[in-house]
Amino acid sequence: MKKRNLFVCVTLAVTLFMGVLNLSTNISKAATNEIKVQILQSSADSTNTINPNFKIINTGSNNLDAKNIKIRYYYTVDTTKAQTFVCDWSTAGIVNVAGTFNNLANPTATADCYLEITFKSSYIITPGNSIFLNTRIFKTDYSNYNQKK
Distance CA 12, CA 127 (A): 22
Which residues of the chain are modeled with pLDDT < 50?
1-28, 149
Distance CA 51, CA 74 (A): 13
Domain boundaries of the chain, sorted by first residue:
10-146
The CATH architecture of the domain made up of 10-146 is Sandwich (2.60)
Q: What pTM does this model have? A: 0.77
What region does 93 belong to: left with phi over 0, alpha with psi -120 to 50, or beta? Answer: left
Radius of gyration of the chain (CA): 16
Query: 11, exposed or middle or buried, with CB in 10 Å at 0-12, 13-18, 19+?
Result: exposed
pLDDT digits (tens, 9 = 90+) for 55-71: 999 999 999 999 999 99
pLDDT at 73: 94
CB atoms within 10 A of CB 39: 14
Q: Is 9 helix (H, G, I), strand (E, B) or coil?
A: coil
- Which amino acid is residue 12, in one-letter code? L
